[in-house]
Amino acid sequence: MTVSPKLAAGTLALAAAVAMAQQSTQTPEQVREQHAPKEAAPLVHPIGGLKKLFHLGKKKDDQKPEPQTPEPVATPAKSQPATPAPSSTAHPVTARPPAPAHPVSPAASVAAPARTYSAPPAKAVAQIPPHPVPIAPPPPPAVAVNRNTIVLDPGHGGADPGARISDGLYEKDVTLALAYRLRSLLQARGFTVVLTRDSDAATNGSSSSQLTLDDRAGIANHQRAVACLLLHATGVGEGVHLYRSELTPAPYEAATLPWLTAQSAWVAQSQVLATRLSQSITRSGLPLVSSAASVRPVDSLTCPALVVELAPQTVGDPDTDSDGRYQQQAAEAITAALVFWRNDMKAPQRADEASAAAPGSASIPSASAVKP
């Protein structure tokens, strides 16, 4: 699905409170610091396109009931005198089915005097269809999800090398190599894979400007993907590190989707995705660290999103980051989890659904809101 990238002001939010990672060998601050590029984050970002799309179906809320056509005035059953009688306002409405109070205009109530009019049979009155009862407007459209689309964001690139993992080995090269392996495996399983960059250069479209973190989030959000993985690498620790957003889960509210906390509607599903990936990585025999750390731009993503950081296969041997067999093992474990995730993922719960749900169930999104 394509979304016109209209520019509009996003809501400013100063969020992202820092919390301690529970199991990581690094604190969230260290993780954030390590993967932060040099550029300053813009204060506003294009999100209007998304919001506009979300609003497409809302117009139905404003639909008025159909204009009420004047109800046919029942005709007297018998011939009437030539002179209009005061009793002409008394309509033989008793044969009508119950209907909402319906104003009868004075003009309509003055029935034309029927001089030689032959009375229609009484059943003609009974055939008048009941007045249509206004029905409730349909609910707003569900949050759409492309279940066969995965977004991979190989961190850094071009002028931004990322971390220097060892002599001659930079993070940007490890993340791109891992992205290639993941793309190949995922495509073989029927996924459409969108990369925010597919070469060393990390440029913004046709321009030569460096891809910002918000650019990456914008690319990802337009895909409405079933999962978005932000790929990073480190020479510290071992195995695969998973980081999910630290935001508090919140129901989806399209009209007030702030850029810096947009992930809050998806964070519950991101947590489930982290669990699925953790199980698969552990099954594959690789060391795992899973915790919360709001590495930008994960908080701005409108999809189940995780930071996947590849650490050395062996502690103290950072060169293993670039080992092909090791990368393939990690990529296969991630792919295996995503194949099941395609059907497991649930769309975020809308605010109206959350308020209607029982207390305590707000973090459980409605499966009915997703189109397969």
Binding site for Zn ion (CB under 5 A): 35, 155, 162, 232
Q: Which is nearer to Zn ion, 46 or 162 (CB)?
A: 162
Q: Is 182 helix (H, G, I), strand (E, B) or coil?
A: helix
Q: Which is nearer to Zn ion, 162 or 297 (CB)?
A: 162
Residue nearest Zn ion (C-beta atom): 35
Contact in structure between 217 and 153 (CB atoms under 8 Å): no
What is d(CA 128, CA 102) in angstroms, rounded to the nearest whole number? 14
Q: Which is nearer to Zn ion, 161 or 287 (CB)?
A: 161
CB atoms within 10 A of CB 340: 12
Q: Which is nearer to Zn ion, 233 or 274 (CB)?
A: 233
Q: Which residue has the tokens 């046709």?
A: 206
Alpha helix (H) ranges present in 225-289?
267-283
Contact in structure between 331 and 258 (CB atoms under 8 Å): no
Query: Nearest approach, Cβ of 328 to Zn ion (angstroms)?
Result: 21
Alpha helix (H) ranges present in 232-266?
none
Q: What are phi and psi of 194, to 5 degrees?
A: -110, 125
CA distances in angstroms from 296 to 48, 288, 306, 316, 358, listed in the order given:
20, 21, 11, 27, 33
User: In the chain, what's the furthest Cα-to-Cα distance?
Assistant: 111
Query: Nearest approach, Cβ of 156 to Zn ion (angstroms)?
Result: 6
Query: Nearest approach, Cβ of 160 to Zn ion (angstroms)?
Result: 9
What is d(CA 271, CA 139) in angstroms, rounded to the nearest whole number? 28
Q: Which is nearer to Zn ion, 26 or 223 (CB)?
A: 26
Q: Which is nearer to Zn ion, 161 or 258 (CB)?
A: 161
Query: Nearest approach, Cβ of 162 to Zn ion (angstroms)?
Result: 5
Q: Which is nearer to Zn ion, 79 or 199 (CB)?
A: 199
Q: Which is nearer to Zn ion, 293 or 354 (CB)?
A: 293
Contact in structure between 33 and 296 (CB atoms under 8 Å): no
Direct distance between the N- and C-terminal alpha carbons of the chain, in angstroms, rounded to an integer? 14
Task: Tell me which DSSP letter residue 199 carries.
Answer: S
Query: Nearest approach, Cβ of 155 to Zn ion (angstroms)?
Result: 4
Contact in structure between 3 and 222 (CB atoms under 8 Å): yes
Query: Nearest approach, Cβ of 231 to Zn ion (angstroms)?
Result: 8
Q: 220: part of which helix (H) or strand (E)?
A: helix 213-223
Q: Which is nearer to Zn ion, 157 or 162 (CB)?
A: 162
Query: Nearest approach, Cβ of 260 to Zn ion (angstroms)?
Result: 19
Query: Nearest approach, Cβ of 51 to Zn ion (angstroms)?
Result: 29
Q: Is 207 helix (H, G, I), strand (E, B) or coil?
A: coil
Query: Nearest approach, Cβ of 332 to Zn ion (angstroms)?
Result: 22
